[in-house]
């Protein structure tokens, strides 16, 4: 409940603040000195900050719930580590393949790769558990992954707001039944370096707040899936997390204005659609087992240790460096002395 309250409070602030121009860049690091004494700068973005925050929340949730299901720290590190190793590169590689652009990322592609790999990684982790340990059902582990993903991507959409990417269509062209609801609930991005500005010339134009809607929808999906897991229905929790997030991914792209490829359905929509029957097959054919009582105190004990905290800090920093160094924007940095303060 505390996480839900904090997440929705953060969203309420972010929806008002992040479209403003000052919320795109955290800092500019001087790199190369020019002849006029100024420096070329490498921009560090709030996109990286919010993306790293989202990964951190997802990792903490996964560790807490997997520990509560009885997994040990080695099994948790193997499962989450392998998922990250697969999904982080996939975010850029699939975007490059689909969109033909080197400096872009796709969470949808990363989610697709993670969804394909997750059942097999779960089976590997269950195989590595000590024989004397009561094994949770595979669907429970998949449910935890789905819950962590829903929360992570929900909060990660705040990164999209800060950079002005993954933006909605102008409300002037929205379906007629939707326009009355968008009169007060829309995003207006400011700044020529926002993607909605330089890619689609939509600076100052009221847009469908698709990033915000997606954030709330994913957070609600994660909460509902968590409730089902604690109610002893892991398969239903997993299916709700998958159908909620991937079903909305398919629908939401029709309300977006950014380039998603050619055709009635984009490659990302096809990926999302493919995960739906795949999730059902996982529930039908993965080995079943009784669901143990979730022991959150045990999960918190695994989380609250110096080694785990250092790993999580390292994860945050690595994700920030990977996603927060802007390659499509630049800056000019100049330094001077305030002589009146000497």
Which pLDDT belongs to residue 262? Answer: 67
Residues 133 and 224 both lie in one domain: yes
Residues 322 and 173 both lie in one domain: no
Residues 113 and 199 both lie in one domain: no
Residues 119 and 192 both lie in one domain: no
Q: What are the residue ranges in the chain where pLDDT is below 70?
A: 1, 131-133, 260-262
Count the domains in the chain: 2
Which pLDDT belongs to residue 86? Answer: 92
Task: Characterize 158-189 residue by residue with b for buried, 16 or more Cβ atoms within 10 angstroms of its Cβ, and e for exposed.
Answer: bbbbbbbbbbbbbbeebeeeeeeebeeebbeb
Domain that holds residue 129: 56-163+210-326
CB contact at 8 A, 240 and 221:
yes
Residue 43 forms part of a structural domain: no
Residues 76 and 135 both lie in one domain: yes
Which pLDDT belongs to residue 31? Answer: 92
Distances (CA, A) of 275 to 12, 25, 202: 31, 35, 33
For residues 224 and 237, give the distance between their C-alpha atoms in angstroms, rounded to a whole number: 8
Residues 78 and 182 both lie in one domain: no
Residue 33 forms part of a structural domain: no
Which pLDDT belongs to residue 133? Answer: 65
Residues 316 and 192 both lie in one domain: no
Q: What's the pTM value of the predicted model, to 2 decimals?
A: 0.93
Residues 294 and 274 both lie in one domain: yes
Residues 298 and 228 both lie in one domain: yes
Which pLDDT belongs to residue 83? Answer: 93
């Amino acid at each position: 409940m505390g996480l839900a309250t904090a997440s929705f409070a953060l969203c309420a602030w972010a929806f008002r603040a992040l479209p403003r121009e000052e919320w795109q860049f955290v800092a500019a690091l001087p790199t190369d000195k020019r002849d006029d004494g100024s420096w070329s700068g490498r921009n560090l973005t709030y996109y990286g900050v919010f993306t790293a925050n989202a990964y951190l929340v997802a990792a903490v949730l996964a560790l807490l719930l997997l520990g509560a299901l009885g997994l040990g720290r080695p099994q948790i590190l193997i499962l989450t580590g392998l998922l990250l190793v697969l999904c982080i590169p996939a975010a850029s590689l699939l975007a490059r393949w689909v969109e033909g652009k080197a400096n872009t990322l796709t969470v949808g592609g990363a989610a697709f790769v993670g969804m394909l790999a997750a059942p097999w990684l779960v089976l590997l982790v269950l195989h590595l558990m000590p024989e004397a340990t009561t094994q949770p059902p595979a669907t429970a582990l998949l449910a935890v992954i789905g819950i962590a993903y829903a929360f992570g991507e929900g909060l990660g959409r705040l990164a999209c707001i800060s950079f002005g990417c993954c933006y909605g269509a102008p409300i002037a062209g929205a379906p007629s039944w939707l326009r009355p609801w968008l009169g007060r609930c829309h995003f207006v991005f400011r700044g020529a370096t926002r993607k909605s500005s330089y890619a689609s010339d939509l600076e100052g134009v009221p847009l469908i707040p698709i990033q915000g809607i997606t954030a709330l929808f994913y957070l609600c999906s994660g909460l509902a899936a968590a409730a089902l897991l604690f109610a002893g229905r892991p398969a239903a929790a997993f299916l709700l997390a998958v159908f909620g997030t991937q079903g909305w991914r398919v629908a939401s792209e029709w309300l977006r204005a950014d380039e998603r490829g050619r055709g009635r359905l984009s490659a990302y929509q096809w990926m999302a659609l493919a995960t739906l029957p795949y999730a059902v097959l996982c529930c039908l054919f993965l080995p079943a087992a009784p669901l143990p009582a979730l022991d959150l105190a045990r999960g918190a004990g695994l989380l609250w240790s110096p080694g785990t905290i250092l790993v999580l800090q390292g994860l945050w920093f690595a994700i920030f460096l990977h996603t927060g160094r802007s390659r499509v924007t630049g800056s000019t940095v100049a330094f001077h002395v305030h002589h009146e303060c000497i």
